Copies of this chain bind each other. A is one copy, B any other.
Amino acid sequence: MPKLNENYQNLKESYLFSEIAHRVGAYTAAHPDKEVIRLGIGDVTLPLGSMAIRGLHSGVDAMADPGTFKGYGPEQGYLFLRNAISGYYARNGVCVDPEDIFISDGAKSDTGNISELFDADNIILIPDPVYPVYVDSNLMSGKTITYMSGNAENQFLPMPDRHIHADIIYLCSPNNPTGAVYNKSQLKEWVDYALENEAVILFDSAYEAFICDPGLPRSIYAVEGAKKCAVEFCSLSKTAGFTGTRCGYTVVPRELKFKCSDGRELSLHAMWNRRQSTKFNGTSYIIQKGAKAVFSPEGMAQCQENIRYYQENARLIADTLARKNIPFFGGIHSPYIWFECPDGMESWQFFDYLLGHAQIVGTPGAGFGQNGRCYFRLTAFGSHENTKKAMERFEALF
Protein backbone atom coordinates (compact mmCIF):
# COMPACT_ATOMS: atom_id res chain seq x y z
CA MET A 1 0.00 0.00 0.00
CA PRO A 2 1.43 3.46 -0.84
CA LYS A 3 2.69 5.33 2.20
CA LEU A 4 1.12 8.75 1.82
CA ASN A 5 2.76 12.07 2.54
CA GLU A 6 1.24 12.48 5.99
CA ASN A 7 2.48 16.05 6.28
CA TYR A 8 -0.76 16.93 4.53
CA GLN A 9 -2.53 16.15 7.79
CA ASN A 10 -0.73 19.07 9.43
CA LEU A 11 -2.49 21.51 7.10
CA LYS A 12 -5.43 23.45 8.39
CA GLU A 13 -8.53 23.12 6.24
CA SER A 14 -8.45 25.98 3.78
CA TYR A 15 -11.97 27.07 4.52
CA LEU A 16 -11.64 30.88 4.45
CA PHE A 17 -13.37 31.69 1.19
CA SER A 18 -15.81 28.78 1.35
CA GLU A 19 -16.86 29.85 4.85
CA ILE A 20 -17.36 33.40 3.57
CA ALA A 21 -19.46 32.11 0.67
CA HIS A 22 -21.47 29.99 3.10
CA ARG A 23 -22.22 32.90 5.46
CA VAL A 24 -23.06 35.27 2.59
CA GLY A 25 -25.33 32.63 1.06
CA ALA A 26 -27.20 32.17 4.34
CA TYR A 27 -27.58 35.93 4.76
CA THR A 28 -28.90 36.61 1.27
CA ALA A 29 -31.33 33.68 1.53
CA ALA A 30 -32.73 35.18 4.72
CA HIS A 31 -32.70 38.76 3.34
CA PRO A 32 -33.44 38.54 -0.38
CA ASP A 33 -34.29 42.26 -0.53
CA LYS A 34 -30.87 43.44 0.73
CA GLU A 35 -28.11 44.44 -1.69
CA VAL A 36 -24.81 42.88 -0.63
CA ILE A 37 -21.56 44.58 -1.73
CA ARG A 38 -18.47 42.37 -2.03
CA LEU A 39 -15.19 43.98 -1.06
CA GLY A 40 -13.65 40.73 0.06
CA ILE A 41 -11.81 38.81 -2.60
CA GLY A 42 -8.40 39.85 -3.95
CA ASP A 43 -9.38 39.45 -7.56
CA VAL A 44 -9.39 42.05 -10.30
CA THR A 45 -12.66 42.96 -12.04
CA LEU A 46 -11.75 45.28 -14.94
CA PRO A 47 -11.34 43.66 -18.37
CA LEU A 48 -7.94 43.40 -20.07
CA GLY A 49 -6.68 46.37 -22.05
CA SER A 50 -6.91 46.34 -25.84
CA MET A 51 -3.16 45.80 -26.28
CA ALA A 52 -3.20 42.59 -24.22
CA ILE A 53 -6.30 41.44 -26.11
CA ARG A 54 -4.61 42.13 -29.43
CA GLY A 55 -1.48 40.24 -28.32
CA LEU A 56 -3.57 37.26 -27.22
CA HIS A 57 -5.52 37.19 -30.52
CA SER A 58 -2.25 37.31 -32.45
CA GLY A 59 -1.03 34.33 -30.42
CA VAL A 60 -4.19 32.40 -31.29
CA ASP A 61 -3.85 33.32 -34.98
CA ALA A 62 -0.27 32.03 -35.00
CA MET A 63 -1.58 28.63 -33.88
CA ALA A 64 -3.86 28.41 -36.93
CA ASP A 65 -1.16 28.73 -39.56
CA PRO A 66 1.43 26.04 -40.42
CA GLY A 67 4.08 28.73 -40.93
CA THR A 68 3.67 30.27 -37.48
CA PHE A 69 2.31 27.35 -35.44
CA LYS A 70 4.13 26.79 -32.14
CA GLY A 71 4.65 23.42 -30.46
CA TYR A 72 6.63 22.95 -27.26
CA GLY A 73 8.28 26.22 -26.25
CA PRO A 74 11.21 26.71 -23.89
CA GLU A 75 10.32 25.70 -20.31
CA GLN A 76 11.91 28.97 -19.18
CA GLY A 77 9.64 31.03 -21.43
CA TYR A 78 10.19 32.72 -24.79
CA LEU A 79 13.04 35.18 -24.95
CA PHE A 80 10.70 37.83 -26.41
CA LEU A 81 8.83 37.91 -23.09
CA ARG A 82 11.90 37.57 -20.87
CA ASN A 83 13.39 40.55 -22.72
CA ALA A 84 10.18 42.55 -22.27
CA ILE A 85 10.19 41.87 -18.53
CA SER A 86 13.86 42.78 -18.28
CA GLY A 87 12.95 46.06 -20.00
CA TYR A 88 10.14 46.63 -17.50
CA TYR A 89 12.60 46.17 -14.63
CA ALA A 90 15.00 48.59 -16.33
CA ARG A 91 12.29 51.28 -16.60
CA ASN A 92 11.84 50.89 -12.84
CA GLY A 93 15.57 51.41 -12.36
CA VAL A 94 16.55 47.79 -11.76
CA CYS A 95 18.86 45.66 -13.89
CA VAL A 96 17.69 42.06 -14.33
CA ASP A 97 19.25 39.80 -16.97
CA PRO A 98 16.60 38.10 -19.17
CA GLU A 99 18.54 34.85 -18.66
CA ASP A 100 17.68 34.99 -14.96
CA ILE A 101 13.92 35.27 -15.61
CA PHE A 102 11.68 32.18 -15.68
CA ILE A 103 8.15 32.58 -17.10
CA SER A 104 5.41 30.57 -15.45
CA ASP A 105 1.64 30.24 -15.18
CA GLY A 106 1.61 32.42 -12.06
CA ALA A 107 3.37 33.42 -8.86
CA LYS A 108 1.23 31.00 -6.81
CA SER A 109 2.80 28.01 -8.59
CA ASP A 110 6.31 29.36 -8.21
CA THR A 111 6.09 30.52 -4.58
CA GLY A 112 4.61 27.09 -3.80
CA ASN A 113 7.05 24.99 -5.83
CA ILE A 114 10.26 26.78 -4.79
CA SER A 115 10.13 24.98 -1.45
CA GLU A 116 11.14 21.77 -3.28
CA LEU A 117 14.67 23.10 -3.71
CA PHE A 118 15.31 23.09 0.03
CA ASP A 119 15.88 20.38 2.60
CA ALA A 120 13.45 19.93 5.50
CA ASP A 121 16.21 20.90 7.94
CA ASN A 122 16.15 24.70 7.61
CA ILE A 123 15.12 27.64 9.76
CA ILE A 124 12.35 29.22 7.74
CA LEU A 125 10.96 32.65 8.63
CA ILE A 126 7.46 33.55 7.45
CA PRO A 127 5.59 36.71 8.47
CA ASP A 128 2.26 36.44 10.28
CA PRO A 129 -0.15 37.57 8.85
CA VAL A 130 0.62 36.67 5.26
CA TYR A 131 -0.60 35.02 2.02
CA PRO A 132 -1.19 31.38 3.10
CA VAL A 133 0.70 29.64 0.26
CA TYR A 134 4.14 30.07 1.89
CA VAL A 135 2.99 28.36 5.06
CA ASP A 136 1.02 25.56 3.41
CA SER A 137 3.65 24.64 0.81
CA ASN A 138 6.27 24.31 3.56
CA LEU A 139 4.03 22.29 5.85
CA MET A 140 3.24 19.95 2.93
CA SER A 141 6.88 18.99 2.64
CA GLY A 142 7.33 18.50 6.37
CA LYS A 143 9.19 21.71 7.09
CA THR A 144 9.07 23.69 10.34
CA ILE A 145 8.14 27.36 10.26
CA THR A 146 9.26 30.18 12.52
CA TYR A 147 6.71 32.98 12.41
CA MET A 148 7.73 36.63 12.43
CA SER A 149 5.16 38.79 14.14
CA GLY A 150 3.61 41.52 12.04
CA ASN A 151 1.65 43.88 14.25
CA ALA A 152 0.53 47.48 14.67
CA GLU A 153 3.74 48.30 16.55
CA ASN A 154 5.99 47.38 13.61
CA GLN A 155 3.43 48.59 11.07
CA PHE A 156 3.03 44.95 9.97
CA LEU A 157 6.58 45.05 8.64
CA PRO A 158 8.64 42.58 10.67
CA MET A 159 12.36 43.33 10.69
CA PRO A 160 15.35 40.98 11.16
CA ASP A 161 15.98 39.67 14.66
CA ARG A 162 19.78 39.37 15.01
CA HIS A 163 19.29 36.72 17.69
CA ILE A 164 17.78 34.31 15.18
CA HIS A 165 19.93 32.68 12.55
CA ALA A 166 17.57 32.09 9.65
CA ASP A 167 18.22 30.08 6.49
CA ILE A 168 15.18 30.97 4.39
CA ILE A 169 13.09 34.16 4.67
CA TYR A 170 9.77 34.86 2.97
CA LEU A 171 8.88 38.53 2.44
CA CYS A 172 5.87 39.98 0.64
CA SER A 173 5.87 43.71 -0.16
CA PRO A 174 3.42 45.34 -0.77
CA ASN A 175 2.02 42.80 1.63
CA ASN A 176 -1.02 40.64 1.16
CA PRO A 177 -3.17 41.09 3.28
CA THR A 178 -1.91 44.17 5.14
CA GLY A 179 -0.91 46.44 2.25
CA ALA A 180 2.24 47.42 4.18
CA VAL A 181 5.31 48.24 2.05
CA TYR A 182 8.97 48.02 3.04
CA ASN A 183 11.01 51.13 2.26
CA LYS A 184 14.49 50.86 0.81
CA SER A 185 16.41 51.11 4.08
CA GLN A 186 14.23 48.40 5.62
CA LEU A 187 14.81 46.12 2.64
CA LYS A 188 18.52 46.90 2.87
CA GLU A 189 18.46 45.73 6.49
CA TRP A 190 16.92 42.44 5.31
CA VAL A 191 19.47 42.03 2.52
CA ASP A 192 22.36 42.78 4.90
CA TYR A 193 20.98 40.30 7.40
CA ALA A 194 20.58 37.64 4.69
CA LEU A 195 24.13 38.18 3.42
CA GLU A 196 25.56 37.98 6.96
CA ASN A 197 23.62 34.80 7.68
CA GLU A 198 24.14 33.40 4.17
CA ALA A 199 20.35 33.09 4.08
CA VAL A 200 18.10 33.24 1.03
CA ILE A 201 15.21 35.74 0.76
CA LEU A 202 12.13 34.63 -1.20
CA PHE A 203 10.60 37.97 -2.15
CA ASP A 204 7.03 38.18 -3.44
CA SER A 205 6.46 41.45 -5.29
CA ALA A 206 3.13 40.53 -6.90
CA TYR A 207 1.61 43.90 -5.92
CA GLU A 208 4.57 46.09 -6.97
CA ALA A 209 2.57 47.84 -9.70
CA PHE A 210 0.45 49.52 -7.01
CA ILE A 211 3.45 51.41 -5.59
CA CYS A 212 3.05 55.07 -6.55
CA ASP A 213 5.99 56.60 -4.66
CA PRO A 214 9.10 56.32 -6.86
CA GLY A 215 11.20 56.32 -3.67
CA LEU A 216 9.76 52.97 -2.58
CA PRO A 217 11.40 49.82 -3.97
CA ARG A 218 9.28 47.83 -6.41
CA SER A 219 11.86 45.05 -6.52
CA ILE A 220 14.28 43.68 -3.96
CA TYR A 221 16.99 44.08 -6.59
CA ALA A 222 16.77 47.83 -6.02
CA VAL A 223 18.96 47.00 -3.00
CA GLU A 224 22.63 46.34 -3.64
CA GLY A 225 23.72 42.80 -2.96
CA ALA A 226 20.23 41.36 -3.32
CA LYS A 227 21.21 39.23 -6.31
CA LYS A 228 23.51 37.29 -4.01
CA CYS A 229 20.71 36.45 -1.58
CA ALA A 230 17.25 36.86 -3.13
CA VAL A 231 14.79 35.19 -5.46
CA GLU A 232 11.91 37.41 -6.65
CA PHE A 233 8.41 36.30 -7.65
CA CYS A 234 6.09 38.53 -9.64
CA SER A 235 3.00 38.17 -11.74
CA LEU A 236 0.80 39.84 -14.30
CA SER A 237 -2.28 39.09 -12.17
CA LYS A 238 -2.40 42.43 -10.43
CA THR A 239 -0.13 44.36 -12.82
CA ALA A 240 -2.28 43.61 -15.86
CA GLY A 241 -5.46 41.89 -14.64
CA PHE A 242 -4.19 38.41 -15.62
CA THR A 243 -5.72 36.50 -12.65
CA GLY A 244 -7.77 34.35 -15.05
CA THR A 245 -5.34 34.60 -17.99
CA ARG A 246 -2.38 33.23 -15.96
CA CYS A 247 1.16 34.44 -16.35
CA GLY A 248 3.87 35.01 -13.77
CA TYR A 249 7.65 35.21 -13.60
CA THR A 250 10.41 34.40 -11.16
CA VAL A 251 13.91 35.82 -11.08
CA VAL A 252 16.63 33.46 -9.87
CA PRO A 253 19.96 35.27 -10.34
CA ARG A 254 22.89 33.11 -11.40
CA GLU A 255 24.91 34.80 -8.63
CA LEU A 256 22.79 32.89 -6.09
CA LYS A 257 24.94 29.98 -4.91
CA PHE A 258 25.03 27.96 -1.73
CA LYS A 259 27.37 25.28 -0.48
CA CYS A 260 26.04 21.76 -0.19
CA SER A 261 27.12 19.22 2.42
CA ASP A 262 30.22 18.09 0.51
CA GLY A 263 31.43 21.69 0.24
CA ARG A 264 30.62 22.18 -3.42
CA GLU A 265 28.70 25.27 -4.48
CA LEU A 266 25.29 24.67 -6.01
CA SER A 267 23.48 27.21 -8.13
CA LEU A 268 19.87 27.83 -7.19
CA HIS A 269 19.33 29.02 -10.77
CA ALA A 270 20.49 25.65 -12.12
CA MET A 271 18.29 23.82 -9.61
CA TRP A 272 15.18 25.86 -10.46
CA ASN A 273 15.93 25.36 -14.15
CA ARG A 274 16.11 21.60 -13.58
CA ARG A 275 12.87 21.68 -11.57
CA GLN A 276 11.02 23.62 -14.24
CA SER A 277 12.44 21.54 -17.12
CA THR A 278 11.33 18.35 -15.38
CA LYS A 279 7.91 19.24 -13.98
CA PHE A 280 6.71 22.08 -16.22
CA ASN A 281 6.41 22.43 -19.96
CA GLY A 282 6.39 26.19 -20.39
CA THR A 283 3.59 28.74 -20.39
CA SER A 284 1.18 28.79 -23.33
CA TYR A 285 2.61 30.66 -26.32
CA ILE A 286 -0.73 32.47 -26.67
CA ILE A 287 -0.56 33.78 -23.11
CA GLN A 288 3.08 34.82 -23.53
CA LYS A 289 2.12 36.84 -26.62
CA GLY A 290 -0.55 38.62 -24.55
CA ALA A 291 1.94 39.21 -21.75
CA LYS A 292 4.48 40.69 -24.12
CA ALA A 293 1.89 43.19 -25.35
CA VAL A 294 1.28 44.26 -21.74
CA PHE A 295 4.86 45.53 -21.50
CA SER A 296 4.62 47.73 -24.62
CA PRO A 297 4.30 51.49 -23.88
CA GLU A 298 0.61 51.48 -24.85
CA GLY A 299 -0.02 48.23 -22.95
CA MET A 300 1.58 49.69 -19.83
CA ALA A 301 -0.50 52.86 -20.11
CA GLN A 302 -3.68 50.74 -20.20
CA CYS A 303 -2.58 48.76 -17.14
CA GLN A 304 -1.80 51.96 -15.26
CA GLU A 305 -5.26 53.29 -16.06
CA ASN A 306 -6.86 50.21 -14.48
CA ILE A 307 -4.57 50.43 -11.46
CA ARG A 308 -5.47 54.10 -10.98
CA TYR A 309 -9.13 53.07 -10.97
CA TYR A 310 -8.48 50.62 -8.13
CA GLN A 311 -6.25 53.11 -6.32
CA GLU A 312 -9.14 55.59 -6.35
CA ASN A 313 -11.30 52.97 -4.62
CA ALA A 314 -8.55 52.32 -2.08
CA ARG A 315 -8.33 56.07 -1.35
CA LEU A 316 -12.09 56.17 -0.81
CA ILE A 317 -11.94 53.35 1.72
CA ALA A 318 -8.85 54.77 3.44
CA ASP A 319 -10.42 58.25 3.70
CA THR A 320 -13.56 56.79 5.27
CA LEU A 321 -11.55 54.88 7.87
CA ALA A 322 -9.43 57.97 8.60
CA ARG A 323 -12.53 60.11 9.12
CA LYS A 324 -13.84 57.52 11.58
CA ASN A 325 -10.48 57.44 13.39
CA ILE A 326 -10.08 53.76 12.68
CA PRO A 327 -6.36 53.03 12.35
CA PHE A 328 -5.55 51.22 9.12
CA PHE A 329 -2.61 49.96 7.07
CA GLY A 330 -2.15 49.81 3.30
CA GLY A 331 -4.57 51.47 0.91
CA ILE A 332 -1.96 53.69 -0.71
CA HIS A 333 0.59 51.48 -2.45
CA SER A 334 -1.71 48.49 -2.36
CA PRO A 335 -5.25 47.43 -3.29
CA TYR A 336 -5.69 46.19 0.31
CA ILE A 337 -6.85 48.10 3.37
CA TRP A 338 -6.21 46.36 6.68
CA PHE A 339 -7.68 47.64 9.91
CA GLU A 340 -8.35 46.60 13.48
CA CYS A 341 -11.93 45.47 13.99
CA PRO A 342 -13.82 48.18 15.90
CA ASP A 343 -15.05 47.70 19.47
CA GLY A 344 -12.66 44.84 20.24
CA MET A 345 -14.48 42.45 17.94
CA GLU A 346 -12.77 39.36 16.55
CA SER A 347 -12.57 39.16 12.78
CA TRP A 348 -15.34 36.60 12.14
CA GLN A 349 -17.58 38.42 14.59
CA PHE A 350 -16.93 41.66 12.73
CA PHE A 351 -17.54 39.89 9.43
CA ASP A 352 -21.07 38.97 10.58
CA TYR A 353 -21.63 42.44 12.03
CA LEU A 354 -20.60 44.23 8.83
CA LEU A 355 -22.62 41.87 6.65
CA GLY A 356 -25.69 42.11 8.90
CA HIS A 357 -25.64 45.87 9.44
CA ALA A 358 -24.15 47.26 6.23
CA GLN A 359 -24.36 44.35 3.78
CA ILE A 360 -20.62 44.64 3.10
CA VAL A 361 -18.53 41.49 2.58
CA GLY A 362 -14.87 41.70 3.62
CA THR A 363 -12.22 39.17 4.60
CA PRO A 364 -11.62 38.21 8.24
CA GLY A 365 -7.96 38.69 9.19
CA ALA A 366 -7.96 35.32 10.98
CA GLY A 367 -7.64 33.72 7.55
CA PHE A 368 -4.09 35.08 7.21
CA GLY A 369 -2.59 33.99 10.51
CA GLN A 370 -2.83 34.28 14.30
CA ASN A 371 -1.97 37.99 14.20
CA GLY A 372 -4.94 38.71 11.98
CA ARG A 373 -7.43 37.51 14.58
CA CYS A 374 -8.75 41.02 15.34
CA TYR A 375 -8.12 42.55 11.88
CA PHE A 376 -10.12 42.86 8.71
CA ARG A 377 -9.25 43.28 5.02
CA LEU A 378 -11.18 45.31 2.48
CA THR A 379 -10.11 45.38 -1.16
CA ALA A 380 -10.16 48.04 -3.85
CA PHE A 381 -11.23 45.67 -6.62
CA GLY A 382 -14.94 46.59 -6.59
CA SER A 383 -16.55 49.17 -8.88
CA HIS A 384 -16.40 52.88 -7.94
CA GLU A 385 -20.15 52.89 -7.52
CA ASN A 386 -20.23 49.92 -5.14
CA THR A 387 -17.19 51.06 -3.19
CA LYS A 388 -18.77 54.48 -2.74
CA LYS A 389 -22.09 52.99 -1.65
CA ALA A 390 -20.34 50.62 0.75
CA MET A 391 -18.39 53.46 2.33
CA GLU A 392 -21.53 55.52 2.80
CA ARG A 393 -23.07 52.60 4.68
CA PHE A 394 -19.85 52.15 6.66
CA GLU A 395 -19.79 55.83 7.56
CA ALA A 396 -23.41 55.70 8.73
CA LEU A 397 -22.75 52.60 10.83
CA PHE A 398 -19.84 53.83 12.95
Which A positions have Cβ atoms within 8 angstroms of B?
Answer: 1-6, 8-9, 11, 14, 41, 43-48, 50, 52-53, 56-57, 60-61, 63-66, 69-73, 105-106, 108-109, 112-113, 116-119, 121-122, 133, 136-137, 140-141, 167-168, 197-200, 241, 243-246, 258-261, 266, 268, 271, 274-275, 277-287, 290
B residues near A167, Cβ cutoff 8 Å = 1-3
B residues near A197, Cβ cutoff 8 Å = 1
Which of B11, B46, B244 is the one whose CB lies under 8 Å from A72?
B244
| Residue on B nearest A246 in the bound complex, by CB | B284
B199 near A2: Cβ-Cβ < 8 Å:
yes
- Nearest 8 interchain pairs by C-beta: A112-B279, A3-B119, A70-B244, A1-B198, A43-B71, A47-B69, A246-B284, A71-B243
A280 near B109: Cβ-Cβ < 8 Å:
yes
A–B complex contacts, Cβ < 8 Å, 28 sampled: A1-B258, A2-B168, A4-B118, A4-B260, A5-B116, A5-B117, A5-B119, A6-B119, A6-B260, A14-B278, A43-B71, A46-B66, A47-B63, A47-B65, A48-B63, A56-B286, A63-B244, A71-B243, A72-B243, A105-B283, A108-B279, A112-B280, A116-B141, A133-B279, A137-B278, A243-B281, A246-B281, A284-B287
A11 near B274: Cβ-Cβ < 8 Å:
yes
Distance, CA A113 to CA B105, complexed state (A): 15
Most buried by B among A2, A61, A116, A167: A2
B residues near A3, Cβ cutoff 8 Å = 118-119, 121-122, 167, 261
Distance, CA A113 to CA B106, complexed state (A): 16
